[in-house]
């Protein structure tokens, strides 16, 4: 059984969405935007993000066709739902058959129920997240019924500028996986080149014994900005295998909040960030171990070239009263130019005794001896650099269990080579 994509939204808004919107507007009235004086935002280019998000709403229609979607987001055997500037486009959707699992909120038979409890909750105290709640249009919804084994679903959020006028929009995806179910979800945030901003939110709730493979890809256009927030709640024995790729946009901030609430829940999160030109990318990952016998693995890698900057903060929280926690974190950055910069900050808050926790961070350059060895075997220097960069990224790419997506990501990495090697 596979998920299925459906068609465009109706203008009617559910009462609970109006309530959430009003609550968010009220929250924003009482809170200021973040600054680099805030500890969790010290490595972000906050001014650039706020300026981008202040643009006019992206409320125009855009000329986006199926070949463009395939080029931007990849194409493979998955049920696809495409939203352009927050609005679903029926002609760009694809269906492989099976149960109706992927859709948009406004077309649900009954939209008077919020698919995920966490959508209503502003506990993250995040100004951009509250702005998303206040300004988002239609919502992509994925629901996996209890005990089901579903194929791949592909949600594509497209940011399309309006000529030379800067625009901003607020894409949202809700994923609900009931007890014992399994599903694979690919979420692509892509864009056409130009002054555009996306402020995205994804909420994932995984019930007892369920398994989710979730792959998040950001490939915004040149000159664009991207803010992303992924919130995950795991029930007892639930498993999340996730990857996070930042291959585009000029300025990004991506936040992951993962709560291992249920005993025996687990998460594996692999990430790859590619920064070139004058890009500024910041990633914050928080894994909150609230249940006992929970496990987490964070493995993030950054490839940074030219005058770019990439930052990674990995937080691990272990709550008092929990037992049997295992949490491990690794971060590695590859600098390809003297003007590239990488910041790594492991952050452990352990309030229990029965734990196994570790962290490690490395920052380095291409191995001169490895380059020399490859050149001595007749491999030209540019090709030697390419092989070493691909090898560095390979560990994360191999964590992607969707063949067509893995190939698309390899092509995306190759397309970024001129930008990341510009100052070599």
pLDDT tens per residue, range 292-308: 999 999 999 999 999 99
Indicate the pairing of strand 239-246 with strand 211-219: parallel
Q: Where are the beta strands (DSSP E) in 3-146?
A: 56-57, 79-84, 87-88, 102-104, 140-144
- Residue 344 domain flag: yes
Residue whose C-alpha is closest to residue 245's, from 399, 120, 82, 33: 399
Residues 152 and 236: beta-carbon distance below 8 Å: no
pLDDT for the residue 6:
34
Count of domains forming the chain: 1
pLDDT, residue 28, reads 92
- Is residue 262 within 8 A of residue 236, CB to CB? The reply is yes
Asked whether residue 8 is assigned to any structural domain, the reply reads no
Domain that holds residue 199: 15-420
Buried b (16+ CB within 10 A) or exposed e, 7-18: eebeeeebeebe
Residue 3 in any domain: the answer is no
pLDDT digits 0-9 by tens, 198-246: 999 999 999 999 999 999 999 998 889 999 999 999 999 999 999 999 9
What mean pLDDT do residues 318-335 have? Answer: 96
| Coil/strand/helix, residue 78 | coil
Q: Residue 4: inside a domain, yes or no?
A: no
288 located within any domain: yes
Is 114 a member of any domain?
Answer: yes
Residue 96 has pLDDT above 80, yes or no: no
Residue 294 domain flag = yes
């Amino acid at each position: 059984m596979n998920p299925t994509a459906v068609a465009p939204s109706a203008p009617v808004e559910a009462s609970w969405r109006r309530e959430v919107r009003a609550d968010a507007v009220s929250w924003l009235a009482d809170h200021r935007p973040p600054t680099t004086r805030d500890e969790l935002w010290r490595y972000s280019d906050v001014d650039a993000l706020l300026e981008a998000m202040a643009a006019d709403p992206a409320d125009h229609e855009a000329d986006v066709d199926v070949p463009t979607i395939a080029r931007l987001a990849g194409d493979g055997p998955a049920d696809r739902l495409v939203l352009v500037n927050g609005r679903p486009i029926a002609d760009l959707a694809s269906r492989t058959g099976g149960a109706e699992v992927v859709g948009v909120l406004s077309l649900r038979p009954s939209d008077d129920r919020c698919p995920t409890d966490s959508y209503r909750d502003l506990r993250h105290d995040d100004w951009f997240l509250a702005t998303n709640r206040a300004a988002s249009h239609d919502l992509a919804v994925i629901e996996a019924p209890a005990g089901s084994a579903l194929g791949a679903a592909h949600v594509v959020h497209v940011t399309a500028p309006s000529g030379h006028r800067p625009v901003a929009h607020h894409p949202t995806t809700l994923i609900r996986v009931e007890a014992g179910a399994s599903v694979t979800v690919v979420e692509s945030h892509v864009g056409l080149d130009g002054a555009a901003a996306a402020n995205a939110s994804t909420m994932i709730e995984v019930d007892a014994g369920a398994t989710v493979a979730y792959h998040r890809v950001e490939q915004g256009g040149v000159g664009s900005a991207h803010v992303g927030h992924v919130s995950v709640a795991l029930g007892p024995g639930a498993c999340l295998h996730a990857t996070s790729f930042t291959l585009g946009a000029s300025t990004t901030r991506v936040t992951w909040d993962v709560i291992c609430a249920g005993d025996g829940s687990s998460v594996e999160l692999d990430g790859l960030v590619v920064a070139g030109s004058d890009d500024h990318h910041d990633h914050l990952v928080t894994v909150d171990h609230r249940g006992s016998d929970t496990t987490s693995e964070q493995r993030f890698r950054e490839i940074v070239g030219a005058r770019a900057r990439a930052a990674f903060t990995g937080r691990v929280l272990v709550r008092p009263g929990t037992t049997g926690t295992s949490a491990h974190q690794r971060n590695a950055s590859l600098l390809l130019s003297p003007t590239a910069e990488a910041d790594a900050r492991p952050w452990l808050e352990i309030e229990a005794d029965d734990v196994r926790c570790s962290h490690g961070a490395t920052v380095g350059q291409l191995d001169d001896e490895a380059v020399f060895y490859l050149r001595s075997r007749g491999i030209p220097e540019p090709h030697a650099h390419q092989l070493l960069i691909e090898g560095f990224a390979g560990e994360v790419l191999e964590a992607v269990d969707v063949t067509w997506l893995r190939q698309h990501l390899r092509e995306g990495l190759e397309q970024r080579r001129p930008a990341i090697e510009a100052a070599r």
